[in-house]
A and B are shown apart, each in its own frame.
Chain A
C-alpha cells in the first residue's frame, strides 16, 4: 500500500477500533456484573471495574441451579434435535428439486417459494399449533413451530446441489438399480456437505437463541424452558413484582425468589459462552452463509 494513503489507513483504524470497543465493552460489563459482589452491586451499581469481586453468582448457579442446569440441557436438546431434523428435511426436499427433468419441478419450487412472500401471521399460526396440534407445553412446542424448515434454506441447498451434482447421477443410479435413499446418503450428502454445514450453523444458532417458541407455547411446564426462556421469565417476574408491589404484602418474600441481579447476569453470560467459544467456527460459516444470502436472524 502506498504511503499517501496513510491518512486513510489511520481514519479506518480509528473508526474500526471505536466500533470494536463498542462491541467489547458491553460484554465486558455483562461479565463484570456477574462477578461483582452483591453488596457492591446494590450500592454502586454495575461497573467495568467493581470494587469487590465475587464468584457468589456462579457458586449459586452450581450449587442450587437445578432449574438453570435443566434449562441449559433443554437448550442443547432442542438445538440438537431441531438442527438435525431440520437439516434432514431440508436436504431431502432440496435434492429432488435439483434433479433434471423432475416432473412438476416448477410448481413444487413455487410452492416452496411462495411461503417467503406471504404468511398468515402469528394469530392463525399460534392457534393452529396450540389448539389443533397440541404442542402447547410439550417439547415439540420448542422445536416444531416456525423454526424447523425454511424455504430460503431449501432453495439455497437446491441451488448448491444442482451446480455440484452431475445431471446424469439420478439416471445412472436408476440403471444401476441403486436405491434412491442409498444414492442420497452415499453421494448427495457428501457432495453437499459444505452447504449443509453452513445451513446447519444458521439453524443451530437460531435454535440456541430462540426464545419466542418458549414464550408462545410453554406456559405451565416451566421445566421445558430453555435458558433464553428462563432469562426472559426473570425479566417478566421482576416487571410484575415492581408494578404490583403495593398490592401484595409478601412483596419482599416474592422478590427473594427471583435470583439476584448478579445471578441473572451470570446466567446471561453462561448463555453467551458457547457462542463465544465457538465463534471462530461460527464466523467462518456465517460469513459464507450471509454472502450466499442465507436467512437473516
Chain B
C-alpha cells in the first residue's frame, strides 16, 4: 500500500518537476498563442455568422439561425457567378504569365555575364514588388486619368486617336489588371527561379558544351528540368490560393470605380463592399465562407497532389 502511495507521490512530483522545467518555455509562447487565437481562431468560429440573421442589438450568438438562406440569396444573384469567374480566370492567367515570364527572366539574368548589369536587372525586377498597391494605383492613374493622363493627353493624340474613358469602360480592364499584376508581381517568382538556376551544378553545362549543345538545348535539357521542382511547388502553392485575390489590385488600381465592376469585381472586393458600403452582412459573410471553404478544399487538394508528385515538397 505505502509503496504504491509513495510511487504515486513520486510520479506526481516528477510530473510537477517536469511541468516546472518546461513552464518558462510555455510562458514564452503565451503572447503569440493568444494572438493567434484572437486573430485567427475566433474568426474561424465566426463563419457561423453566414448562417444567421445578424442582429447586433442581441449579439451574434443570440441572433436567429436561418440555415442556408444567405447562400441561397447569394447564389441567386448574377454577382456570385461574376466574382467567381473573375477570381478564377484572373488567377489562372496570373499564374501562367508569372511562371513563364519569371522563368524566362531568371534564365536571362543568370546567364548575363556583366555582373553590374545582372545586379541592375535583378533590382529592377524586385522594385515594383516592394510598392504598395495604393502607390501603384496612383501611377496607373498618371497614365490613364481621363482628363490629364499621359495616354489620353499625349500618346493617343500623337497617334491621331480619340481619348478613351478608361475608368468608365470595363472592357479594357482585364488587360490593364493583367499587365499591372505582372509588372508588380513577376519579381517574386523570378527571384525563386534565380536561386534555383544558381543551384544547378555548373559541370552539367560544361559537359553539354563539350558535346556541342547550343544554348537553347542546354536550357531545354538542363535548366528547365533542374528547376522543375521549384516551379511545381510554387505553382501548386498558387493554385491553393486561386480563390483569393490581391484586394489592392482589384480595389486600388481601378479606383473602386463602380462602372468597372463587371471585370474588376472579385470575391475579396465583393465581401469588402458588402460589409463596409452596403451593410449587407448576410451576403458578404456567405461569400466569405464560400471563399474560405473552397479555398481550404483547394489547399488540401493541391497538397495531396504535391505529395503524390514529390513528397518532400508537400506542405504537410
Q: Which residues of A contact B (CB under 8 A)?
A: 1-2, 4-5, 8-9, 11-13, 15-16, 19-20, 22-24, 26-27, 29-30, 33, 41-42, 44-48, 89-90, 92-93, 95-97, 99, 102-103, 108, 111-113, 115-128, 131, 133, 144-146, 148-149, 151, 154, 170, 174, 179-181, 184, 205, 208-212, 216, 228, 231-232, 235-236, 239, 243, 261, 264-265, 268, 271-272, 275, 279, 282-283, 286-287, 290-291, 296-297
Contact = CB atoms under 8 A, between A and B. Distances in A.
Interface in B110-142: 111-113, 117, 120-135, 137-139, 142
Contacts of B85: none
Interface in B152-183: 152-154, 183
A102 B128 contact: no
Interface residues of B, number: 99
Interface string B10-51: 000000001001101110110111011011111111110110
Contact of A133 (B38, B131, B139, B268): B38
27 contacts: A1-B113, A8-B215, A12-B108, A13-B117, A16-B108, A16-B121, A30-B142, A46-B143, A46-B145, A46-B148, A92-B29, A108-B33, A111-B36, A112-B36, A117-B296, A118-B296, A121-B288, A122-B275, A179-B24, A211-B252, A216-B276, A264-B138, A268-B139, A286-B126, A286-B130, A286-B191, A287-B126
Contact of B120 (A20, A148, A232, A291): A20
B143 A122 contact: no
Given A90-B32, A92-B32, A268-B138, A2 B209 contact: yes
Interface of B: 18, 21-22, 24-26, 28-29, 31-33, 35-36, 38-47, 49-50, 56, 60, 104-105, 107-109, 111-113, 117, 120-135, 137-139, 142-143, 145, 147-150, 152-154, 183, 188, 191-192, 195, 209, 214-215, 246-248, 252, 255-258, 268, 271-272, 275-276, 281, 284-285, 288-289, 291-292, 295-296, 299-300, 315-316
Contacts of A133: 38
B168 to A, nearest CB: 11
Given A122-B288, A124-B45, 15 more contacts: A8-B111, A16-B105, A30-B139, A42-B148, A47-B153, A111-B33, A111-B36, A120-B40, A121-B43, A122-B272, A123-B271, A180-B25, A209-B133, A212-B248, A283-B122
A68 to B, nearest CB: 14
A269 to B, nearest CB: 9
Contacts of B135: 30, 231, 268, 271-272
B266 to A, nearest CB: 13
Nearest to B125: A19
Contacts of A146: 39
A118 B268 CA distance: 15
Contacts of A145: 39
Contact of A47 (B154, B246, B247, B255): B154
A113 B316 contact: yes
A8 B153 CA distance: 38
B90 to A, nearest CB: 16
A262 to B, nearest CB: 10
Contacts of A119: 40, 43-44, 292
A120 B132 contact: no
Given A119-B292, A122-B288, A297-B246, A45 B150 contact: yes
Contacts of B122: 283, 287
Contacts, number: 271
A123 B38 contact: no
Contacts of A23: 124-125, 127-128, 183
A149 B32 contact: yes
Contacts of A275: 130-131
Contacts of B120: 20
Contacts of A2: 209
B123 A279 contact: yes
> In terms of DSSP, what is the predominant structure of the interface of chain A?
helix
B142 A265 contact: yes
A123 B281 contact: yes
B132 A211 contact: yes
B134 A121 contact: no
Nearest to B120: A20
Contacts of A125: 39, 43, 46
Contact of B149 (A45, A95, A154, A232): A45
A33 B148 CA distance: 10
Given A12-B108, A15-B108, A231-B134, A33 B43 contact: no
B31 A45 contact: no
A45 B148 contact: yes
Nearest to A88: B31
